[in-house]
Amino acid sequence: MTLIASLTVATEAAAQALVEALGASEELDFPTAATTEQADQSWVVDVYFEDKPDAAALNALAASVLGSNAPAFKIAPLPDEDWVAKSLEGLKPVRAGRFLVHGSHDRDKIQPGDISIEIEAGEAFGTGHHGTTAGCLAEIDRLCSARDFKSILDLGTGTGVLAIALAKAWGKTVLATDIDPIATRVTEENAALNGVGALIEAATAEGFGNPVFAANAPFDLVIANILAGPLIALAPEIARHLTPDGTVVLSGLLVAQGPAVTAAYEAEGLRLTRSGEMEGWLTLTLER
């Protein structure tokens, strides 16, 4: 039986931050999908589970994101209907540069000149609708017209949307890693769906000690759309695996977290060359 956990918040930014935290949580059994939908002047976060979730852990996560006065999730059985199709109704196509991220229900929205990426809401997080993902896509499109890259890493790949964009933009092999085996499996499936399965090597890897990094390094382009804390912690390793003229694109951080993340990479010899904001989230580009 599928269960739905629902919580209402005041702003879209709060809803998206909660969805991001759900995707990064190691305390919860991984949900099958999470969506946000506007309701009057508020936003509703719906999280779908195949098994009963730990309500205490779910509410503790909400409190960590929204504050100690956060409302509790309401958990109930989902009515007998096509809930996946229902969850996709609110996911409109997203344009970022030349990229169009869409579900199968919106293939008719593809226009001449679009670089189409078809992603469904499902077991891994990242449908292109979050400001961090859209910001990365826009930066990938910009970089594509600026220079060529030969060795590319998508760190924390999620559904593989950025890896697919990278493979389509440059036609080069992309290493796509994630700590979650579900994410790497979904990335492989989505890469095949989008016709770039042969160009994407998806690997489950926690930390740069995994041999897959040494086998593909050094990288002249690293995309890391994760969270501010891990981005800061990984700065030395990312810099160590970068070519002398390499580029790093970072996202998953709020505007207020930008200075701390930037400082961590400047300490490793990189310089900030571009900063973009979308829906309260930053995308930073740094170079040697």
Mean pLDDT to the nearest integer, 91-106: 83
Please report the pLDDT score of residue 125 as a whole number.
44
Q: Residue 33: what pLDDT?
A: 57
Is there a contact between 60 and 21 (Cβ–Cβ < 8 Å)?
no
The rounded mean pLDDT for the chain is 86
The predicted pLDDT at position 126 comes to 46
Tokens of 89: 């109704």
CA distances from 145 to 20, 71, 139, 151, 169 (A): 30, 46, 10, 17, 9
Confidence check: pLDDT of 119 > 90: no
pLDDT over threshold 70, residue 124: no
Alpha carbon distance 33, 15 (integer Å): 14
Least confident of 33-42, 123-132, 243-252: 123-132
Q: Which residue has the higher pLDDT, 91 or 36?
A: 36
Q: How buried is residue 33: exposed, middle or buried, by Cβ count under 10 Å (0-12/13-18/19+)?
A: buried
Bigger pLDDT: 150 or 80? 150
Q: Does 70 score more than 60 pLDDT?
A: yes
Find the range with the poorest average confidence among 63-67, 194-198, 277-281.
Answer: 277-281
pLDDT of residue 20: 72
CB atoms within 10 A of CB 215: 10
Report which of 230, 256, 233, 248 is spatially closest to residue 284, judged by C-alpha positions: 248
70-74, 251-255, 272-276: range with lowest mean pLDDT: 251-255
Q: What digits encode the pLDDT tens for the residues 54-69?
A: 899 899 989 998 998 8
Q: In this structure, what are the phi and psi dihedrals at residue 96, rounded to the nearest 5 degrees?
A: -140, 105
- pLDDT score of 220 more than 80: yes
Q: What span, in angstroms and rounded, lies between the C-alpha atoms of 174 and 185?
A: 15
Task: Check whether 227 has a pLDDT greater than 90.
Answer: no
Structure confidence at residue 123 (pLDDT): 42
Q: What percent of the chain has pLDDT over 70?
A: 85
Q: What is the pLDDT of residues 151-163, one digit of tens each?
A: 999 999 988 999 9
pLDDT the model gives residue 34 = 60
Return the pLDDT at 98. Answer: 94
In terms of pLDDT, which residue wins out, 179 or 280? Answer: 179
Average pLDDT over every residue of 226-240: 92
Handedness of CA 242, 245, 250, 256 (dihedral sign): positive
